[in-house]
């Protein structure tokens, strides 16, 4: 399938790469299909690109690379919605707020994106842990 993207122009993707957000992403509820693409020249970051809308693309990263003590448990209803059978089937990403200054890049640890890698189902989950906020600096 050919899609238009914010960072890669027009590209061909495999349908098996498509992630389904059954409930969309908060603020973008109509956007239900995304793909994760590499971010050129920034291996630690990826792009969560909407398949439907070229302009909707989020920079994401694996939070465990930057926050070694990041830890949470999903609520049973979230596990059920994602159809997760094993913890190994889950991938975790966080949305980043980018800046011209590296020191100002922040990660949203309060609302990680959880992906069932076996079924390609995804959901942005809101954590009720007061230790996690929407803007944690990625680099100190």
End-to-end CA distance of the chain: 40
Q: What is the mean pLDDT of residues 90-94?
A: 98
With cut-offs at 50, 70 and 90, classify the pLDDT of residue 57: very high
Structure tokens at 7: 């960072």
- Round the average pLDDT of the chain to a whole number and report it: 95
70-86: b or e for each residue (b if 16 or more CB lie within 10 Å)?
Answer: bebebeeeebebbebee
Whether the pTM exceeds 0.85: the reply is yes
Taking only the tens place, the pLDDT of each residue in 12-56 is: 999 999 999 999 999 999 999 999 999 878 889 999 999 999 999
Q: What percent of the chain has pLDDT over 70?
A: 100
CB 77 within 8 A of CB 106: no
Structure tokens at 15: 């349908």
Q: What is the mean pLDDT of residues 99-113?
A: 94
Q: For residue 138, what are the contacts with CB-CB under 8 A and spacing of at least 6?
A: 61, 66, 96, 105, 106, 107
């Amino acid at each position: 399938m050919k899609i238009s993207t914010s960072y890669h122009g027009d590209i061909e993707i495999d349908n098996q790469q498509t992630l389904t957000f059954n409930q969309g992403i908060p603020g973008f509820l109509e956007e239900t299909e995304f793909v994760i693409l590499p971010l050129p020249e920034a291996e630690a970051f990826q792009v969560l690109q909407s398949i439907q809308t070229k302009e909707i693309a989020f920079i994401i990263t694996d939070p465990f690379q930057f926050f070694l003590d990041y830890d949470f448990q999903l609520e049973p209803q979230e596990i059920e919605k994602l159809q997760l059978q094993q913890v190994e089937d889950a991938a975790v990403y966080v949305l980043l707020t980018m800046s011209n200054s590296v020191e100002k890049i922040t990660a949203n640890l309060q609302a990680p994106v959880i992906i069932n890698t076996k079924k390609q189902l995804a959901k942005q989950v809101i954590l009720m842990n007061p230790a996690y906020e929407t803007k944690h600096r990625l680099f100190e």
